Amino acid sequence: MRKDSIPNKEVITTKPFPNSKKIYVQGEIHKDINVAMREITLSDTVDSFSGKKTPNQPVTVYDTSGPYTDPHKEIDVHQGIERIREQWIIDRQDTEELTEFSSNYCNQRLNDQSLDHLRFNHIRKPRKAKPGKNVSQMYYAKQGIITPEMEYVAIRENQKIQEAKRIAKQHPGQDFGASIPDVITPEFVREEIARGRAVIPSNINHPESEPMILGRNFLVKINANIGNSATTSSIEEEVEKAVWACRWGADNIMDLSTGKNIHETREWIIRNSPVPVGTVPIYQALEKVNGKAEDLTWEIYKDTLIEQAEQGVDYFTIHAGVRLAYVPMTAKRVTGIVSRGGSIMAKWCLAHHKESFLYTHFEEICEIMKTYDVAFSLGDGLRPGSIADANDEAQFAELETLGELTKIAWKHDVQTFIEGPGHVPMHMIKANMDKQLAACGEAPFYTLGPLTTDIAPGYDHITSGIGAAMIGWYGTSMLCYVTPKEHLGLPNKEDVRTGVITYKLAAHAADLAKGHPGAQHRDDALSKARFEFRWEDQFNLSLDPELARSYHDETLPAEGAKIAHFCSMCGPKFCSMKISQEVRDYAAKKELDEQQVLEAGMKEKAQEFKDKGSEVYL
Amino acid sequence: MRKDSIPNKEVITTKPFPNSKKIYVQGEIHKDINVAMREITLSDTVDSFSGKKTPNQPVTVYDTSGPYTDPHKEIDVHQGIERIREQWIIDRQDTEELTEFSSNYCNQRLNDQSLDHLRFNHIRKPRKAKPGKNVSQMYYAKQGIITPEMEYVAIRENQKIQEAKRIAKQHPGQDFGASIPDVITPEFVREEIARGRAVIPSNINHPESEPMILGRNFLVKINANIGNSATTSSIEEEVEKAVWACRWGADNIMDLSTGKNIHETREWIIRNSPVPVGTVPIYQALEKVNGKAEDLTWEIYKDTLIEQAEQGVDYFTIHAGVRLAYVPMTAKRVTGIVSRGGSIMAKWCLAHHKESFLYTHFEEICEIMKTYDVAFSLGDGLRPGSIADANDEAQFAELETLGELTKIAWKHDVQTFIEGPGHVPMHMIKANMDKQLAACGEAPFYTLGPLTTDIAPGYDHITSGIGAAMIGWYGTSMLCYVTPKEHLGLPNKEDVRTGVITYKLAAHAADLAKGHPGAQHRDDALSKARFEFRWEDQFNLSLDPELARSYHDETLPAEGAKIAHFCSMCGPKFCSMKISQEVRDYAAKKELDEQQVLEAGMKEKAQEFKDKGSEVYL
């Protein structure tokens, strides 16, 4: 086992994307809002006959990378990133800074000098709601208040493409009953949060996070799991994985650390995370009882919730739907219980022969959540772990319970979303979405894949990317990524990148299919660049410019090849796009479109084309 | 440009898969049929309390790898592989061996001594139907004849899982009107071929190929494109790519070579290919006129068809649906015409201002096809090359024409399948399938992807794997793979592997969703192995055992880790499967299932479990 180490500045990836600059869009209701986006500059379209240049408008894209890709921001991982939400929270005057942490365990760790070398350098005092106050975005929304967080996500969702949208034709989508407006307004955001159909995970102790929204009427989001396990990885690596995941497009991350020093690792991650951070508190609680599920108690768990809430975790996965009576339903399964949290709670229930303390103490948990605005991610502890177990009694019994719990959470104005499977064959995916919408009153759905077959370990980012794209289309709000290492080992940095990009493209495919306004803009811009052999633009508009460029350069590395009207796939004579361009250019030169060429039916045009053709070719 | 070189024996990959042996199932109607399959041997399930061992039955899987994975077969790439169909063809007595090749170009090449160093060593004389004979499988099927090819595919489709099927429960599928029987009989195969709903590509000059069937009522197949381009690759590499693609699961390959020495490259590939080989003859025809589309003639094209038919190409992609009148419909597209063949023909049509010679000579082409049993793959030259162009007028106009041509081909008893797109957002995929079924009388559909977004070059195996799985589910018979290099460059060997496995898993996901009988058997076996920590079995049952193993070993390389009840992903304490096993083992030991544990409601059981738990943990 490697020794833990704190992050070295050099390991953090900060360079901007090629031909991209960070832009900030100011709020209108809240003038101190500056929503970060990435603007990709494109080269001109050059007419191959006349040489006439036509500029291509820059393309603005959703940007999850935080300050790391802004060369004007100083990054010091030992200080943490800018706390953009701090003043908004203070201005609401419903919270107070505590003089010390409320969790016993947290204080123990802080006082343990043997941990000094691992500790984040600038730990701040936590904030908490003033007595009797509810500080959740849902509470504000129900009061009719548009918070800066709400305006932020409204601006962010629109991606500054109102202008582009007006000119872009795009295919009408099929949205299965969603209600996606043409332009997202702050008021629409508020309404959606008030009715529970959307969530902005935004713990008051994570002021560093740039607000993002989950909901079926918004862009589909993705989550990247990071975190070390007992057998591998260090704090340094995990912080870089967090920054790296955001760089490639993670809308939020979950820290699933289960090794030593979970508390310290989390502090480093949250202080440097520009996206919301989720956890599964039972993991740490289990470490506190040395891995003996049966020794878990409500008190230990509760202290863990408070510990993590005061560090700034934005949402907790809580497997409160794993009820005692459901455990036997898993006995005949091919793969039993495959959720870590679910299996821990099942073991506890059996060992004590008691109802789960997460279920029995659910309202107390709500009280904690609303004091910090931690959102529920109601865990699907009984999700199927194999195709055989998909959509079974245990899974759907738990889902019904999650629906009941959602209603209780909403009674407390606690923001809530629901976790979903797992392993499900394609034709059984839609039933999951439909049942979730019905059982949970349209609370956002957050699924892991689903994986559409079990037979491809090593490629489970793909088996699950298929299911993820489909369930995203059907209405899921957030897709939890799966990396190529799923079922086999802990993902490394490259696995994280592959997982994130796979899920980013799946989420985008879902947005296109739902007909999300403006979603097709980037596809159109990239395809136009492709057709015009603007190779650099094609790379820069893609989800992974580095990889696209490196694949191209593998066979044609010369700079000249970046303006060539072909690539190594077909070579110069066989490039369909080149031939197609020639057909078009010919028509353009004649000041005729192809329609006219044909309709005129003039034989001599054909002859001219032939003559012209002779010089177009090599 | 590299110098071409002929294959060196050493470059060909021949090793068997781990814990796998080649088995051969004999025919009943035709006793000289031996259908190759791969049998994967599994280890025993060991009860962790009693130590009792229960054997796991071996799993038989579909095997496309040919003799290369049979250690009992001598492989000599300079001789070509065994000609398993030769005697069947001779026995039908409707063909004759010609004294020389019929194609002028072929004879030119054979007489060109400067090519001797590149030439396949043992070129055989071609066979052709006797005058007036039709040697297509469709012709035989309509005559009520069950050929050895038909019985072969029937046995092959069943994968020897009739026994397994009887005990396996699997989810009922959703097949959108397909008619998939529980067991595939030779008579069913015959009926499906007779009515045009299935195709066995089986040129009489490619007796080396192991018959495989395409059709919506059979397992979904995949195609791998190989072949060099003018800028890269050698004959040696392409032959190894062919063998390599079959190894990983390609049901057939297309040789899309466009560089020099297309003729010689093809000979090497066909003589060593255990799967059907397709081509796009217009590519070679274009090389013959030095890349000038307008110089193409029917005579040059016809000579090319005969040249390739006598070498043994099993199907030809022919873009006969790109009619003059459709070309202008592409003028306003974002990406024009993106099919190489389509753009060549569009250029020819415009240059001559004439209807395509492929369309006007279609019946003559049918005459050639039925003389060798070459199947039509009616090309979609106007497929959309971007999301923006999906399902447009040009695309569907061409599809209607392909439907007309299908009827003409069937009149000649020529086996026919239809190519499909391309780039299509998820919600517009099903319309493609529905229209194809209607327009083309259920002739098998063969699609490229479709890609569900344009924004992920470098990951287009995934953007397209999503669409491929979906359209496979809807009824597509064969999925043409896309590699990570799509749009960027020529795929190398590793790209071929990634593309093949991605499409194999997509095809399998489609089989599961259609409810193909027995499809779930391998998933269930792998999931059971996973749950029981039979790591070796999990690797060996997967589509890519090497990669799965290497990913596991990256973090836990020790041999002992292959029997450990956890992996590096969660570590020992957090493995849900381990905890779930413990719950189950506990119940088993008490000779109670969990249901009874609970129902009995006995508190002391809980205490016992606690005690037991203490020693189970580390």
pLDDT in tens, B6-27: 777 777 899 999 999 999 999 9
CA quadruple A534, A538, A541, A546: dihedral, nearest 10: -120
What was the pLDDT predicted at B601? 47
Residue in B closest to A463 by C-alpha: B505
Q: Do A426 and B490 touch (CB under 8 A)?
A: no
Percent of chain B with pLDDT over 90: 80
Closest residue to A576, CB basis, from B173, B343, B576: B343
**Residues in chain A where the model's pLDDT stays below 70:** 1-4, 163-168, 230-233, 567-574, 585-618
The CA distance from A56 to the nearest CA of chain B, in Å, is 14
Q: Between B210 and A562, where is the model more confident?
A: B210
Q: Do A388 and B524 touch (CB under 8 A)?
A: yes
What was the pLDDT predicted at B40? 97
Q: Do B617 and A292 touch (CB under 8 A)?
A: yes
What was the pLDDT predicted at A10? 72
* Partners of residue B38 on adjacent β-strands: B22, B61
Residues of B in contact with A552 (CB under 8 A): 488-489
Residues of B in contact with A459 (CB under 8 A): 501-502, 505, 543-544, 547
Q: Measure the CA–CA gap between B97 and B89, rounded to whole angstroms.
A: 11
Mean pLDDT score of chain B, rounded to an integer? Answer: 91
**Residue of B184, B90, B293, B277 whose CA lies nearest to B519:** B184
What was the pLDDT predicted at B51? 87
The runs of H, that is alpha helices, within B532-575 are 535-541, 545-555
CB distance A87 to A19 below 8 Å? no
What are B263-297's pLDDT values in tens digits?
A: 999 999 999 999 999 999 999 999 999 999 999 99
The CA distance from B616 to the nearest CA of chain A, in Å, is 10
Q: Is B440 annotated as a binding residue?
A: no
Probe site for chain A from B295, B453, B582 (most A CB atoms < 10 A): B453
The enclosing H or E element of A59 equals: strand A59-61
Q: Do A426 and B353 touch (CB under 8 A)?
A: no
What was the pLDDT predicted at A8? 76
Q: Which two three-digit tokens encode residue A523?
A: 């596809």
Q: Do A489 and B556 touch (CB under 8 A)?
A: yes
Q: Do B386 and A232 touch (CB under 8 A)?
A: no
Strand pairing report for A198-199 and B59-61: unpaired
CB distance A277 to A243 below 8 Å? no
First to last CA, chain A: 61
CB distance B591 to A328 below 8 Å? no
Q: Measure the CA–CA gap between B63 and B42, rounded to whole angstroms.
A: 17
Q: Do A462 and B465 touch (CB under 8 A)?
A: yes
Residue in A closest to B575 by C-alpha: A340
Closest residue to B466, CB basis, from A171, A174, A469: A469
The runs of H, that is alpha helices, within B37-85 are none
Q: Do A351 and B605 touch (CB under 8 A)?
A: no
**Residue of A272, A305, A323 whose CA lies nearest to A82:** A272
Q: C-alpha distances in angstroms, A138 versus A368, A412, A472?
A: 15, 9, 24
The enclosing H or E element of A222 equals: strand A221-226
* Partners of residue B253 on adjacent β-strands: B224, B277
CB distance B384 to B392 below 8 Å? yes
* φ, ψ of residue A162 in degrees (nearest 5): -55, -40
CB distance A315 to A201 below 8 Å? yes
Percent of chain A with pLDDT over 90: 80
What was the pLDDT predicted at A616? 29
Q: How far is CA A542 from the centre of its chain?
A: 17
Residue in A closest to B352 by C-alpha: A606
Q: Which two three-digit tokens encode residue B144?
A: 């009520």
The CA distance from A283 to the nearest CA of chain B, in Å, is 8
Q: Measure the CA–CA gap between A397 and A324, rounded to whole angstroms.
A: 12
ipTM tops the 0.90 cut: yes
The CA distance from B242 to the nearest CA of chain A, in Å, is 17
The CA distance from B99 to the nearest CA of chain A, in Å, is 35
Which DSSP letter does residue B99 get?
Answer: S
Q: Is B459 annotated as a binding residue?
A: no
Residue in B closest to A338 by C-alpha: B576
Burial of A347 (0-12, 13-18, 19+ CB in 10 A): buried
Q: Do A610 and B426 touch (CB under 8 A)?
A: no
CB distance A477 to A218 below 8 Å? yes
Q: Do A327 and B492 touch (CB under 8 A)?
A: no
Q: How far is CA A317 from the centre of its chain?
A: 16
* φ, ψ of residue B75 in degrees (nearest 5): -110, 125
Q: Does the pLDDT of residue B100 top 70, yes or no?
A: yes
What are B404-450's pLDDT values in tens digits?
A: 999 999 999 999 999 999 999 999 999 999 999 999 999 999 999 99
Q: Measure the CA–CA gap between A212 and A560, rounded to whole angstroms.
A: 41
Q: Measure the CA–CA gap between A458 and B551, rounded to whole angstroms.
A: 7
Amino acid identity of B328?
A: P
Probe site for chain A from B56, B423, B459, B486 (most A CB atoms < 10 A): B459
What was the pLDDT predicted at A576? 75
Q: Which two three-digit tokens encode residue B100?
A: 């020389």
Q: Which two three-digit tokens encode residue B8?
A: 């060196």
CB distance A285 to A299 below 8 Å? no
**Residue of B505, B491, B519, B518 whose CA lies nearest to B547:** B505
The CA distance from B114 to the nearest CA of chain A, in Å, is 24
The CA distance from A90 to the nearest CA of chain B, in Å, is 39
Q: Measure the CA–CA gap between B60 and B190, rounded to whole angstroms.
A: 25
Query: In the block, which residue shows the tokens 């794993």?
Result: A322
Q: Do B455 and A523 touch (CB under 8 A)?
A: yes
Question: How many A×B Cβ pairs under 8 Å?
Answer: 488
What was the pLDDT predicted at A617? 28
Closest residue to A542, CB basis, from B330, B457, B544: B457
Closest residue to A581, CB basis, from B336, B453, B548: B336
The CA distance from B295 to the nearest CA of chain A, in Å, is 9
What was the pLDDT predicted at B618? 28
The CA distance from B353 to the nearest CA of chain A, in Å, is 6
Q: Do B527 and A342 touch (CB under 8 A)?
A: no
| Region of poorest pLDDT, from A591-595, B119-123, B140-144, B242-246 | A591-595
Q: Is B446 annotated as a binding residue?
A: yes
Q: Do B229 and A571 touch (CB under 8 A)?
A: yes
Residues of B in contact with A454 (CB under 8 A): 523-524, 526-527, 530
B599 contacts: CB under 8 Å, gap ≥ 6: none
CB distance B252 to B226 below 8 Å? no
Query: In the block, which residue shows the tokens 């370990």?
Result: A457
Q: Do B580 and A454 touch (CB under 8 A)?
A: no
Residue B594's pLDDT band (cuts 50, 70, 90): low
B142 contacts: CB under 8 Å, gap ≥ 6: B194, B413
First to last CA, chain B: 61
Q: Measure the CA–CA gap between A74 and A579, rounded to whole angstroms.
A: 49
What was the pLDDT predicted at A2? 46
Q: Does the pLDDT of residue B588 top 90, yes or no?
A: no
Closest residue to A523, CB basis, from B388, B587, B610: B388
Residues of B in contact with A524 (CB under 8 A): 334, 386-388, 454
C-alpha gyration radius of chain A: 26
Q: Do A388 and B527 touch (CB under 8 A)?
A: yes
Number of H helices, E strands in chain B: 23, 17
Burial of A485 (0-12, 13-18, 19+ CB in 10 A): buried
Q: How far is CA A411 from the centre of its chain?
A: 27
What was the pLDDT predicted at A555? 81
The enclosing H or E element of B505 equals: helix B493-514
Q: Measure the CA–CA gap between A489 and B572, rounded to whole angstroms.
A: 12
Amino acid identity of B394?
A: A
Annotated binding-site residues of A for Zn(2+) read 423, 487
Closest residue to B570, CB basis, from A171, A340, A342: A340
Cis preceding linkage at B450, omega within 30: yes
For the stretch A102-125, what's the b/e string if a residue is b when 16 or more beta carbons lie within 10 angstroms of its beta carbon?
Answer: bbebbeebbeeeeeeebbbeeeee
Write down the pTM of the prediction. 0.94
Residues of B in contact with A259 (CB under 8 A): 571
Residue in B closest to A2 by C-alpha: B555
Q: Does the pLDDT of residue B613 top 80, yes or no?
A: no
CB distance B415 to B458 below 8 Å? no
Q: Measure the CA–CA gap between B401 and B411, rounded to whole angstroms.
A: 16
Residues of B in contact with A1 (CB under 8 A): none
**Residue of A357, A248, A255, A250 whose CA lies nearest to A301:** A357
What was the pLDDT predicted at B235? 86
- Dihedral of CA B488/B489/B495/B496: which sign? positive
Can you tell me the mean pLDDT for B216-236? 86
What was the pLDDT predicted at A3? 55
What was the pLDDT predicted at A570? 66
Q: Do B569 and A490 touch (CB under 8 A)?
A: yes
Amino acid identity of A407?
A: K
Residues of A in contact with B159 (CB under 8 A): none
- Dihedral of CA A588/A590/A592/A594: which sign? negative
What was the pLDDT predicted at B616? 29
* Partners of residue B97 on adjacent β-strands: B127
**Residue of B494, B241, B238, B491 whose CA lies nearest to A554:** B491
The CA distance from A267 to the nearest CA of chain B, in Å, is 21
**Residue of A458, A419, A462 whose CA lies nearest to B507:** A462
Q: Measure the CA–CA gap between B88 and B153, rounded to whole angstroms.
A: 14
A174 contacts: CB under 8 Å, gap ≥ 6: A473, A513, A514, A515, B427
Q: Does the pLDDT of residue B2 top 70, yes or no?
A: no
